[in-house]
Amino acid sequence: MFEPKIVVFACNWCTYAAVDLAGTSRISYPPNVRVIRVMCSGRVDPQFVLEAFKNGADGVIVAGCHPPVDCHYTNGNIKALRRFTLFRRLLNDLGIEQERFRLEWISASEADKWVKVVSEMVEDVRKLGPFKPKLGVKEV
Amino acid sequence: MKEIIIDPITRLEGHGKIIIVLDDDGNAKRAYFQVPELRGFEKFAEGRAAEDMPIITPRICGVCPMAHHMASTKALDDLYKIDPPSAAKKIRELAYNVFMLEDHALHFYILAGPDFIVGPTAPKSERNVVGVIKKVGLEVGKRIIVTRKKLRDINTRLAGKVIHPVFGVPGGVSKPVSEDDAKEIRAIANEALDFAMFTLKAFKDLVLSKKEILDLIISEAYTHRTYYMGLVDDKNRVNFYDGKIKIVTPSGKEFAKFDVHEYQNYIQEHVEPWTYIKFPFIRQVGWKGFVDGEDSGIYCVAPLARLNVADGMATPLAQEAYEEMYEMLSGKPVHHTLAFHWARVIEMVYAAERIKELAEDPELTDKNVRVMPTSTPSIGIGVVEAPRGTLIHHYETDELGRIKRANLIVATQQNAARIALSVDKAAKSFVKRGIIDEGLLNMVEIAFRAYDPCHACGTHSLPGSMPFKIYLYNEDGKLLNVITREQ
Amino acid sequence: MSERVKVAFYWCASCGGCEEAVVDLAEKILDVINLVDIVFWPVAMDFKLEDVERMPDNSITVSFINGGIRLSEHEKVVKLLRQKSKLVVAFGACSSWGGIPGLANLYTREEILERAYLTTPTTHNPDKIIPGSKTEVEIDNTKIEVPVFLASLKPLDEVIDVDYYIPGCPPTPNVTWKALETLLSGNLPSKGSVLGASDRSLCDECPLNKTKPENVLIKEFKRIVNFNPEPNKCLLVQGLPCLGPVTRGGCGALCVNANMPCTGCFGPLSDVRDYGGKAISYLASILDLDNEEDIKRELSKIIDATGLVYKYYLPKSALKGKVGGSKS
């Protein structure tokens, strides 16, 4: 069975803590994720997501603190919201299925939400199959 | 069956190739003129914002970017159903005529000049821009370079960039002309007119005074009786920026005069499997293959076609030159391909006179250069006369102004069939019993240059000569001989 | 450089604007001819490909190549030039990143051919002939070769090794001249460098920069289609998506001088990995709205995000174009 690789950019203050909590609470979740800790979802540049896809990710999650007020840096999550709202349109034009990219708000206490998001994502992407970062036609 | 391939070096190794098929006796049966060039603008326009089209479409051709920019901008006016303020139209038309003048000058002096000013029978080593300068003098050579630069600088001021302009927006232009700019433009306008008149005189002195060149121009080898198409103003005079599209028959009768919105009723494009260029033809007459005459829908655009469809020129000096040409070539329409050069010089005079008129127009510096769109976009069609002929941009959009479909009728494309006729005629005249006469090379080369071809509006020949290679194949496709045109 | 410098120019899928831009050096072109020998320039001079084939390897000092790689024969010629040249310079936006014809990578070859030859309203093609669908066509018992239209457009450095880049659509004469001076100085910068242009963003040289605050914040995006910006005021501040902040300088802000926003033809600064990603990031971050609905509404005014941020850059971007369905 195809095992998708999911890259997660998780904010240090909320989502990463939730990932930790899931671990310390011994809740199992699919092992398909590669979590990259960033200080804030507002630090995640769309270029990072493109690089992840280019380097073999089948799906990408950007996750941070709940808007409007949870952000440790006041409004980093709002910045992420703005960026990825526009970025999603780019992904759509480039033919990337919407299930392959998610922007999620997961607080430090929401280990269960983390598990749910990851499980859904793995299932959705598994149905889509591997992401092939190349043009969809063959050379003669 | 033998096959000859002539590979002109306008774009080396294939960008514009001639293939001649021989019959069993080794005589040319049919010649093919291949343009291997496709970039897919009509497809990737889809999804783009309409206001980006004047930025995107100039990249079809960096030699005539202003033509695409302007056709596109006019298509946007039509898309949003807005009539730009008078000053904006004048600014556009001024920039457009500046562009026509410098583009025609480039062609006349650097591309065609070697054939006519130096002479079609001069040694190849002299048939280049250096030879032209030798003939006309270094001072004149410098004048050509300096005038061209000044004209292009005007368009940097008016249009932002001279290669790939940006000033065209729906309903007008992006900025008014300042008093400083206007002063500068007026000064250059006078020089430009002197330069155009000098060019006309040079053409008369160096070209028309020679009987052998005049004989060449009217020779049957360079004659095709086709339909002609071009824009005319409300008095049926040549206009580059706006007007109605007029078509005349090979005998010179008006066949149609229509608004660009009706272009689909008159123009269709034929597809051949061996070339990427499509062959437009007159719909009512139909595609009858590569033949000329009243029954064949093949038509011709560009300077000579414009003059053939018009009743005259809108400015006095150009009108004088126009009358002189038709008198000397005994009436309209003129079917001689080489008269393109003459028509081009007459158009230079018109462009320069029009520049002067517009530069001196007090309205040029009016600050009101834009009208805002109010209607919901759906279809926009724009037309201009590019240096190389009628150019049509047609866009269909969604209600946000995002392109759903685009159709482009590009200038050179419309001459493709006539160019093929020229090539075919040359082959049939000069390839006999498998022997290729040197005359073939000369004839093809000179005929080509007259059209100033800009294949798929991207394959444009600049300075220098146009050498050919001929590959002679036997019927098994084995290479028998390669003949290279030496300098 | 002690021996006389030998220079080649070549064009692939280009518009000819790069060649015109070289001609626009005007009187300086005479200086160039005094300094170098031009050994190959199909548009202007009578040297043939066989002449290049006969040259010893590395005998051309520098080859300037413009246009993207769209046809099979482009690949063939640039590989030959690489073999014969000490240095290869990608000249202009198309060669560097694909340029505007690179937007074709949003569609498949089949879609492009179908539109061009079957479905435009004026096409009359009852036999449904599509050129380029076969590499060889038989007519009058003669096989005629048609060069292959490749599946996508590629920047030069995807086909051959490239030493330097000169940006711009087209490179402006001052940029071309500066790049030539650098190459002729013999004091060559590190491989992969951008020549002739600035190392700072366009804003740095923009005449309107003094009207741009440290942190640009806007409440709405405007479209030039129904907005007339006031002159002498930063276009971004007025709401037009100007790409100056994420674009390399060097052109002298030509478009802004015409009261039009920068569309990014000088490409990214050196530290950027994907121009489009960077541009998205910048444009979204200046939008000073917090509510999700407001954000969506304003961003929807950018009706073609891809055409905006990848206008000149798509084939060089991380994904190179539309990826197509992964299952098909």
Residue B309 and residue B303: Cα distance in Å, rounded? Answer: 10
Chain C environment of A85 (Cβ under 8 Å): 284, 292, 295-296, 299
**C258–B401: do the CB atoms touch at under 8 Å?**
no
pLDDT for position C48: 64
User: B336 pLDDT band (50/70/90 cuts)?
Assistant: very high
Q: Which of A94, A105, A124 to mutate to test the interface with C (most CBs of C within 10 A)?
A: A94
Contact B412, B300 (CB under 8 A): no
Number of H helices, E strands in chain A: 4, 4
B229 has a pLDDT exceeding 50: yes
**C101–B59: do the CB atoms touch at under 8 Å?**
yes
**C110–A137: do the CB atoms touch at under 8 Å?**
yes
Residue B335 and residue C73: Cα distance in Å, rounded? Answer: 37
A51 has a pLDDT exceeding 60: yes
Q: Rounded to a whole number, what is the distance in Å from the CA of B178 to chain C's nearest CA?
A: 12
pLDDT for position B379: 98
Q: Rounded to a whole number, what is the distance in Å from the CA of A87 to chain C's nearest CA?
A: 6
Contact C39, C55 (CB under 8 A): yes
Residue C303 and residue B401: Cα distance in Å, rounded? Answer: 8
Residue B415 and residue B298: Cα distance in Å, rounded? Answer: 8
C222 has a pLDDT exceeding 60: yes
C240 has a pLDDT exceeding 90: yes
Within 8 A by CB and 6+ apart from C144, the residues are B19, B32, B34, B274, C136, C137, C138
Work out the average pLDDT over C93-110.
95
Give the H or E element holding residue C123.
strand C123-124
Give the H or E element holding residue B383.
strand B379-386
Local structure of B20: helix, strand or coil: strand
The closest CB to that of C42, out of B12, B41, B170, belongs to: B12
Q: C274 is written with which tokens?
A: 């994907």
Burial of B264 by CB count in 10 Å (0-12 exposed, 13-18 middle, 19+ buried)?
Answer: middle
Closest C-chain CA to A79: C285
Query: What is the 8-class DSSP label of residue B111?
Result: I
pLDDT of B5-20, one tens digit each? 554 333 333 356 677 7
pLDDT for position A135: 53
User: C300 pLDDT band (50/70/90 cuts)?
Assistant: very high
CB of A29 less than 8 A from some CB of C = no
B31 has a pLDDT exceeding 90: no
pLDDT of B416-435, one tens digit each? 899 888 888 877 877 777 77
Q: A35 is written with which tokens?
A: 């979590």
Work out the average pLDDT over B132-148.
82
pLDDT for position B191: 94
CB of C71 less than 8 A from some CB of A = no
The closest CB to that of B44, out of C106, C121, C228, belongs to: C106
Chains with ≥3 CB–CB distances under 8 Å to B: C
CB of B261 less than 8 A from some CB of C = no
CB of C315 less than 8 A from some CB of A = no
**B274–C139: do the CB atoms touch at under 8 Å?**
yes
pLDDT for position B485: 45
CB of C322 less than 8 A from some CB of A = yes
B278 has a pLDDT exceeding 70: yes
Q: Which of A44, A137, A138 to mutate to test the interface with C (most CBs of C within 10 A)?
A: A137
Query: Per mean pLDDT, which of A128-132, C123-127, C148-152, C307-311 is the most reliable?
Result: C307-311
Contact B53, B404 (CB under 8 A): no
Query: What is the 8-class DSSP label of residue C273?
Result: S
Three-state secondary structure string covering B216-260 = HHHCHHHECCCEEEEEECCCCEECCCCCEEEEECCCCCEEEEECH
pLDDT of B295-316, one tens digit each? 999 999 999 999 999 999 999 9
CB of C150 less than 8 A from some CB of A = yes
Q: Which of residues 54-73 of A touch C (CB under 8 A)?
A: 54, 67-68
pLDDT for position C50: 75
Residue C273 and residue A49: Cα distance in Å, rounded? Answer: 12
More confident residue, C18 or C135: C18
CA C202, distance to chain mean position in Å, is 17
Q: Rounded to a whole number, what is the distance in Å from the CA of A27 to chain C's nearest CA?
A: 32
Give rounded-to-5 percent helix, strand, coil for chain A: 45, 15, 40
Chain B environment of C146 (Cβ under 8 Å): 34, 36, 273-276
Q: Which of C280, C285, C309 to mutate to test the interface with A (most CBs of A within 10 A)?
A: C280
Contact B325, B362 (CB under 8 A): no
CB of C35 less than 8 A from some CB of A = no
**C255–B161: do the CB atoms touch at under 8 Å?**
yes
In the numeric block, the tokens 């280049």 are attached to B128
pLDDT for position C102: 96
Q: Rounded to a whole number, what is the distance in Å from the CA of C210 to chain B's nearest CA?
A: 20
B129 has a pLDDT exceeding 80: no
C272 has a pLDDT exceeding 70: yes
Other C-beta atoms within 10 Å of C193: how many?
13
Report how many Cβ contacts below 8 Å link chain A to chain C: 134
**A46–C280: do the CB atoms touch at under 8 Å?**
yes
Residue C98 and residue C316: Cα distance in Å, rounded? Answer: 7
Burial of A16 by CB count in 10 Å (0-12 exposed, 13-18 middle, 19+ buried)?
Answer: buried
**C116–B43: do the CB atoms touch at under 8 Å?**
yes
A66 has a pLDDT exceeding 80: yes
Q: Which of C191, C194, C195 is nearest to C181 (CA)?
A: C195
Q: Which of B243, B238, B463, B208 is nearest to B348 (CA)?
A: B238
CB of A80 less than 8 A from some CB of C = no
Query: What is the 8-class DSSP label of residue B399?
Result: T
User: B120 pLDDT band (50/70/90 cuts)?
Assistant: low
B474 has a pLDDT exceeding 50: no
Q: Which of B2, B21, B30, B59 to mutate to test the interface with C (most CBs of C within 10 A)?
A: B59
Q: CA-CA distances (angstroms) from residue C22 to B129, B462, C27, C82?
A: 16, 12, 11, 21
Closest A-chain CA to C151: A139
Q: At what angle do helices B138-159 and B179-203 cross, to 10 degrees?
A: 140
Give the H or E element holding residue A102.
strand A101-105
**C295–A136: do the CB atoms touch at under 8 Å?**
no
**B49–C48: do the CB atoms touch at under 8 Å?**
no
The closest CB to that of B47, out of C124, C257, C304, belongs to: C304
Chain C environment of A128 (Cβ under 8 Å): 326-327
**Measured at the alpha carbon of residue C174, what is the angle toward residues C168 and C180, in degrees to the nearest 5?**
90
Pairing of strands C85-91, C164-166: parallel
pLDDT for position C217: 95
CB of C325 less than 8 A from some CB of A = yes
Chain B environment of C11 (Cβ under 8 Å): 11
Q: Rounded to a whole number, what is the distance in Å from the CA of C153 to chain A's nearest CA?
A: 10
B466 has a pLDDT exceeding 50: no
Burial of A113 by CB count in 10 Å (0-12 exposed, 13-18 middle, 19+ buried)?
Answer: middle
